[in-house]
Chain A
Amino acid sequence: QVTLKESGPVLVKPTETLTLTCTVSGFSLTNPRLGVSWIRQPPGRALEWLAHIFANDEKSYNTSLKSRLTVSKDTSKSQVVLSMANVGPVDTATYFCARMSTGTYRSFDYWGQGTLVTVSS
């Protein structure tokens, strides 16, 4: 059974660094056909893809946010970590991690439940 679960702070102050963890089960982070992305959704707004980590540890980032994002993984813990530097109120959103499969044309076939992060002083 494939599952993903996000964890991290509920509230972050402006200018701080947000760190979120995605713990996965039911698949391996070293499977070359799979990867994990972070996607966010501000309240009442659309989905925005943020970052991705491939099985070979290559990373990719949203062009607009690249300077503020870092994604990494710990395969021994089955965890993928996203860091976002210098957050502001516009970063208030529900953050999802999702599995991407090349078997389904690079679609996101499994998602975590999401975690709501509020940026406020």
Chain B
Amino acid sequence: DIQMTQSPSSLSASVGDSLTITCRASQSISTYLNWYQQKPGKAPNLLIYAASNLQSGVPSRFSGSGSGTDFTLTISSLQPEDFATYYCQQSYSASTWTFGQGTKVEV
């Protein structure tokens, strides 16, 4: 199975900051990488698919990049509602999928 490793596991930031979260796959997954945001007590919400495509309705301060094994999620000008946990997910495999362990963004 493809393993996904996120870093850091948590980070502290302030409103207005720019931050980057990294996700690494255990093998090349081309651009089959998706990012989700999850707030406490809620279901995850799709932010970015195919490494760099912004899901409809997601603010443009979110961006993604990468291909192969290394990917990044960048949030420019952090807003109060962005404090949450972020997960990457590989969809390279045709029938089994895995998530990273999550990155918690805290004040």
Contacts and interface: CB of A to CB of B under 8 A. Distances in A.
Q: Please report whether the interface of chain A is mostly helix, strand, loop or mixed according to DSSP.
A: strand
Nearest to A62: B96
Interface of B: 1, 31-32, 34, 36, 38, 42-46, 49-50, 53, 55, 87, 89, 91, 95-102
A109 B55 contact: yes
A104 B49 contact: yes
7 contacts: A39-B99, A47-B38, A49-B89, A105-B31, A105-B53, A108-B44, A109-B55
Given A63-B1, A104-B49, A46 B43 contact: no
A49 B98 contact: yes
A60 B34 contact: no
Nearest to A116: B41
Tell me what chain B mostly uses at the interface: helix, strand, loop, or mixed: loop
Contacts of B87: 46-47
A113 interface: yes
Interface of A: 37, 39, 46-49, 52, 58, 60-63, 96, 98, 104-109, 111-114
Contact of A60 (B36, B45, B53, B96): B96
Contacts of A106: 32, 34, 91, 97
Contacts of B49: 104-105, 107, 109
Given A60-B96, A113-B43, A104 B55 contact: yes
A58 B100 CA distance: 25
Contact of B50 (A47, A52, A104, A108): A104
A61 B1 CA distance: 12
A107 B34 CA distance: 6
Contacts of A96: 43-44
